[in-house]
Chains A and B, each alone.
Chain A
Amino acid sequence: MPEVRLPTVLRPHANGASTVTAAGDTVGELFDDLVRQYPGLASHLRNDDGTLHRFVNVYRNDDDIRYLDKLDTKLEESDVVSILPAVAGG
């Protein structure tokens, strides 16, 4: 199953884990499984309309999925999905 690396800020929603595993053929499916395991993550990953949350960056093997197929980005068993909080301000 793909490995998912969580940023410090999301770890409290996953029992403190920095790395978890989740199943899915796409990033969207992987998020479905992640949220099944850790419901507290839901609002941090996607907006109410199901699109990727603006304040997280999601990478498949260090490539930002916004520049791939977004939540439809395909995953292999050996892929590593990294989630980082967007670093932003005014």
Chain B
Amino acid sequence: MLPPVSGPSFPAGPRLRLTAGQFNEIVAHCYDGLPDEACGLLGGPVDAAGVPEGTVTTVYPCRNEDASARTYTIDSRDHIKALRAAEEAGGDLIGVFHSHTHTEAYPSETDVRQAVEPNWIYVLVSLKHEAPVFRAYRIVDGTIGEVPVEISR
């Protein structure tokens, strides 16, 4: 496992803010996907530079093109639909969530290698334990920084 990086070496970013309903929607989609990994996109407001403010406006559950328990690829048709919907709502896509069925809620080496959006928030939901574990990260130039998660009613 790659070590988490924090402190001054990691660029500061927003916290992830979502409602309990959105949290449940994400976790439910992850359980629905079993035995495969499940995935989806997050839409929300961004600042003038395109950086997410951290608030989730809409959860977009997507199909896993890989239909695999080890990897995921957001279905390309679901991706463009989610992007256009997020733009129409005046925001942008701000992140992606996916499940780890048998490992912890921490980015895998594949997750780090394939992360292409330094401003995005990468949500990991582990289904390894009896209760789901929900964590969020940013992945910038191959380094991982944890993003605090704030759940409101």
Contacts and interface: CB of A to CB of B under 8 A. Distances in A.
A82 B119 CA distance: 20
Where chain B touches its partner, the secondary structure class is: mixed
Interface string B4-41: 00000000000000000000000000000000000101
Contact of A9 (B70, B76, B116): B116
A26 interface: no
Interface in B46-103: 50, 66, 70-74, 76-77, 79-81, 83-84, 96, 98
A27 to B, nearest CB: 14
Interface stretch (A32-40, A55-63, A71-79): A55-63
A20 to B, nearest CB: 18
Nearest to A89: B111
A7 B117 CA distance: 9
B70 A88 contact: no
B152 interface: no
B83 A89 contact: no
Contacts of B114: 55, 88-90
Interface in A14-39: none
Contacts of A85: 116-117
11 contacts: A7-B116, A8-B119, A57-B80, A59-B76, A59-B80, A64-B77, A85-B117, A86-B73, A86-B74, A88-B71, A89-B114
